[in-house]
Amino acid sequence: MPPLPVLSPIADSRKFNLNASAVAGFFGGEEAITAMATVHLYRGRRWLGWYNSPGSYIIAKEFGRISGSRFWNGLFPGSNHSPVVAFKLDGKTGPKYVASHSGTVMQQTGHLAHLLTQGTENSDVVPTSLPTSRHATISRISIVTVPEITYGNLHVQTMSIHHTVFASFPILVSVCTCIFSALFADWYCFAMILLGIISSGVTCFVIGSGDLNIETVKTPAEGCPPGDGMLLMKNNVIILKGEEKDVNVITKGKFVLKLKGEPEYTAVGLCSLLLEVQFLLQLLLIPQGSLIGQTMFLTSIIASWAYNSFLASLDEEKLQRKLFYDHIGLQQLTVLSFEASTRTSMAAFTCFVLCKDLLRPLRGIKPMNILLELVPNETPVWQKWREQVVAQVEKKEGEMIDFQSEDVDMSGLDEHDQALLKDLLKDAKHAYDVGLAGGESTPLLLTGRFISKPKASWASCTGN
């Protein structure tokens, strides 16, 4: 079809060449990769990739390494990525974990523990402050009750309406620019825009057809103790309360992504090859197009880049965290948050919460090991402080808990050390008063389960 007569001089102009192909394969590649990574976090997202996305060469190189056969390794050299790592659903490491009953120590946990850690640290919940007579290192203590988990398939949320409407923008722009190129008889640019729509749409559909789930140790050994323990950060600690099989999903769980054709993933390799062919054809054919056709091509690239940038701006970890929380029972997963002004109060509070559980006897728990993890100082003052705290923790139900410094052997300590020990014991007493003695605005933690609702500290875990 010949171009419209009025627009013929513009369509036939060869005085200026945009040469958009020089950047189309590289421009916006990182945004496109990040946008593609959201395809598993929204239901229906795999159907919304039909637009002329930029960065085809970068996308091909990144996802081509998922394919594992020798043929694909030759086309896309480099270390092979598992699908879950390629889409950033795994790879982050969580903090150290110490189990209070079994004594298990994991120097680092996995991606799901990382999500929980970030969720509690960045929570907008106002923590309850532990009383103190002095201020030193501020520590946050989060107590997470892990509900009984019924494992099944992950239920990925549906995209919101405004997300879906926004997704139609690059699709409409790509289709319209493709039609306009045809109207101006620029078949080179028409073909390249159409190829970009097809290659991006097919890749998004193939990759988005994967099955996302959570893998963990679902059946621990019979007779194993409860899974109570603590995740240790630099200044913060997360106390986990729950059965072993339920706590395992946090400490040992991870996302798994099953794509068809494992382990070669031939379909992913073919999509990556199609993207590379698209890039090479763009280099050859786009410069042959007219100014109008190149402008249409560039317009579709810019519109698609804007949408990819929007997807890349979404907090991917927040989406993953919401998916994770929904899976393990968001409506039941609750968090209590406290703030300690000294590391001593934090250590004593944590020890009492984990050890003084009237419904769970000290089955293998060694309070001294917990305190050594939190305050490993080996000076005489700290040794005597830990011995006194352990002595109070190990008292039986009904026995008086007493942190009076007069009951502590002060031999070997000068007057400065004695004064320090008295302050440290006051911190321990304050932690006990809040953690177990209870109060009008604080919960009784006698069983490690939350009996009353504290003011300004109770919240359901969200994706914040």
256 pLDDT higher than 80:
yes
The amino acid sitting at 143 is I
Average confidence (pLDDT) over 205-215: 88
The DSSP output letter for 40 is G
Q: Please say whether the beta carbons of 438 and 218 come within 8 A.
A: no
Residue 17 has a pLDDT of 58
384 vs 423: CA distance, rounded Å: 13
CA nearest to 184, candidates 345, 309, 377, 2: 2
pLDDT band at 18 (very low <50, low <70, confident <90, very high): low
Whose structure tokens read 């946090």? 250
pLDDT score, position 396: 72
Residues 6+ apart with CB under 8 A from 430: 130, 131, 132, 133, 345
**What pLDDT was estimated at residue 441?**
37
340-351 pLDDT, tens per residue? 888 888 998 998
Task: Answer with the residue of higher pLDDT: 160 or 258.
Answer: 258
pLDDT score of 359 more than 80? no
Characterize 218-251 residue by residue with b for buried, 16 or more Cβ atoms within 10 angstroms of its Cβ, and e for exposed: eebeeeebbbbbbbbeeebbbbbbbbbbbbbbbb
Whether the CB-CB separation of 19 and 287 falls below 8 Å is answered with: yes
Closest CA to 34 of 423, 271, 352, 312: 312
Distance CA 281, CA 274 (A): 10
**Span 349-364, average pLDDT:** 69
Side chain identity, residue 342: T
With contact defined as beta carbons under 8 Å apart, do 198 and 175 qualify? no
Average of per-residue pLDDT across 230-251: 90
Tokens 């994770």 sit on residue: 324
Q: Assess whether pLDDT exceeds 70 at residue 248.
A: yes
State the DSSP code for 384. Answer: H
What is the length of the chain?
464
314/176 Cα distance (integer angstroms): 27
C-alpha separations of 277 from 29, 111, 134, 298 in Å: 16, 35, 67, 19
Per-residue confidence (pLDDT) for residue 274, from 0 to 100? 95
For residue 209 the two structure tokens come to 């057809």
Tokens standing for 56? 């085809």
Res 296: pLDDT: 94
User: Tens digit of pLDDT for each residue in 264-307?
Assistant: 899 999 999 999 999 999 888 988 888 899 999 999 999 999 99
Q: CB of 108 within 8 A of CB of 93?
A: yes
Distance of CA 301 to the CA centre of its chain: 30
Sign of CA dihedral 280, 187, 54, 49: negative
Q: Is the pTM of this model over 0.85?
A: no
Per-domain residue ranges of the chain: 5-90+156-214+257-315, 97-153+220-254+323-460
* Amino acid letter, residue 199: S
Phi, psi of 339 (to 5 degrees): -130, 125
pLDDT in tens, 370-422: 899 999 888 888 888 898 888 888 877 666 677 766 667 777 788 888 888 88
Share of the chain above pLDDT 70, in %: 81
Average pLDDT in the chain = 81
pLDDT (tens digit, 9 = 90+) per residue, 172-200?
999 999 999 999 999 999 999 999 999 99
> Which of 403, 400, 395 is CA-nearest to residue 356?
395
Q: For residue 352, give the nearest of 335, 365, 341 by alpha carbon.
A: 365
Higher pLDDT, 119 or 168: 168
Q: What are the structure tokens assigned to 195, written together?
A: 């190829």
